[in-house]
Amino acid sequence: MPFTFANVDSRASLVSNSDFYDLNRITQDAISADPMEALADIDALQQVSASLADYQADGSISDAKLGAPAPRPRNSFGVGLNYKDHAEESNMELPESPVVFSKFPSCIAGPFDDVELRATRGDYEAELVVVIGRITRDVSKDDAWSHVAGLTAGQDISDRKLQLGARPPQFGLGKSRDTYGPTGPLLVSADSFANPDDLHLTCEINGDPRQDAKTSDLIFDVPYLVSYLSEVMTLVPGDLIFTGTPSGVGMPDRRFLVPGDVITTTIDGIGAMINICR
């Protein structure tokens, strides 16, 4: 059963027809108000979603204060060079196995939060983000989607100086400054999409189109990444996987972010995040 999940003012909610329903209220405490705890029971989310019409909505999503759908992941992974065209623009060879780094969970921010740049080489990377929904260990690619709570959009904001200034380059710190991980606006279950492996992803800076891709162009797709990571370590509900960015980032032409820049990140069926650089 498809569902759309949101973090409304730090409370777990389901969304239908642009209205939101507070999960703790409509289930009379059966589901926690905490988005992280609510995300750990995707069977319950599916059930409640099927009967949303029986309840009165709490308000319109357009007026709601939205936070990151999974605001406090235990682990948050990034995947580098996962689109052929981005590997080429970065002058890197195509990876034979996933290039995985830690996007430290403290960088996770909401879909409309400001990005505090604190860097002269801040860059944008629009990405599809996977949110894990079950305890996942040694899952096969065929079973991987059933362990995913849903999909959301993300920005893997990157301080290229921190990332590339060290030798050899290090990803973790350069991608983990405070506020460098906006996610949202909604978390949409995989079965809501005709094909969850083929989503349209775009990024605009001040309205100027910079990135435009289909997730079907991922070198390592979502089932591969979930299966691969689950063989290394146990994934838990709320864990995030930033799946990589397509071509069009600022670095090749040195079009780095400056204060006042407006980053608009859109995935069809999920919605648009708007983050302003400070």
Residue 184 in contact with residue 110, Cβ under 8 Å?
A: yes
Q: Which residues of 200-229 are buried (b: 16+ CB within 10 A; e: fewer)?
A: ebbbbbeeeebbebebebbbbbbbbbbbbb
Tell me whether residue 19 or residue 156 sits nearer to Zn ion (CB atom).
Answer: 156
H or E element in which residue 79 lies: strand 76-80
Query: Among 135, 67, 130, 139, which Cα is nearest to 100's?
Result: 130
Give residue 44's identity as a one-letter amino acid code. A
Give the nearest distance from C-beta 175 to Zn ion in angstroms. Answer: 7
Q: How far is the CB of 242 from Zn ion (least distance, A)?
A: 6
Nearest approach in angstroms of CB 224 to Zn ion is 16
The nearer residue to Zn ion, 156 or 204, going by C-beta atoms, is 156
Q: Are the beta carbons of 207 and 260 closer than 8 angstroms?
A: no
Cβ 211 to Zn ion, closest distance in Å? Answer: 11
Question: How far is residue 175 CA from its own chain's centroid?
Answer: 14
Of 11 and 103, CB closest to Zn ion: 103
Q: Which is nearer to Zn ion, 75 or 245 (CB)?
A: 245
User: Whose Cβ is closer to Zn ion: residue 183's or residue 245's?
Assistant: 245
Residues that bind Zn ion (CB under 5 A): 125, 156, 245
Amino acid letter, residue 170: Q
At closest approach, how far in Å is the CB of 78 from Zn ion? Answer: 5
